[in-house]
Amino acid sequence: MNVVELTVAIAILILLLLNLLLTYGVVRRLREHGTRLSKVEAGGNGGGADSLGPASPAPGTSVPSFEAAAVDGSVVSSATTSQGEKYMGFFSPTCAPCRERLPEFISFAQRRSPDDVVVIIQDGDGASEMAAAATGVARVIIDDGPGGQLIESFQVDRFPTLIALQDGVVTTNTSIMGGLPSELVR
């Protein structure tokens, strides 16, 4: 083997090793993103801190002042949610985890008084169907626009968001049903 052939062989070997190293880095990064995507598809971070950050509103936060008309004509307000245990679910018809979690939340609501559970649905295609599914077991509000009044008032930054309140104060905020206290979910 002459010097030119040896130099070419070494250059090819170096390129192959560099290619192998870069491929390893890409595969590792894809695995990390796959794990993050799985968390997001499963409904977010469960109210904890991960790549999405802490959920809003935080536990200990008082319910903001609001008043909205439910689809049945009743009024839901900060006053009606300020006494006792109340539960609020924020859903969007464009959110796949919302479509998965809404039946669970409805099942949860069926074991409570409709006055103690509020379902807020972001307006859009499919909002009426979601509202119809929850009507009768909860107070249902269709929040107008992409950043509706209640979505903005409660600083909801992801869907679904499920909030437990005690006397008008947030006790639990989560994106998955398992995040509500287990004695409440049964």
pLDDT digits (tens, 9 = 90+) for 120-149: 998 888 899 999 999 999 999 998 755 677
Which residue range is the domain that position 147 belongs to? 67-185
Give the chain's domain count: 2
Query: Which H or E element spans position 76?
Result: strand 75-77
Distance (Å, whole) CA 118 – CA 137: 9
Domain match, 4 and 96 both = no
Domain match, 173 and 84 both = yes
Domain match, 71 and 20 both = no
Distance (Å, whole) CA 86 – CA 138: 11
Global confidence as pTM: 0.68
What tokens appear for 97 in the block?
A: 């985890």
The answer to whether residue 48 is domain-embedded is no
Domain match, 126 and 176 both = yes
Token pair 């649905």: residue: 121
Domain match, 107 and 143 both = yes
**What contacts 174, CB < 8 A, 6 or more positions away?**
44, 46, 47, 55, 161, 162, 180
The string of pLDDT tens digits covering residues 154-175 is 888 888 888 999 999 999 888 7
Distance (Å, whole) CA 45 – CA 26: 25
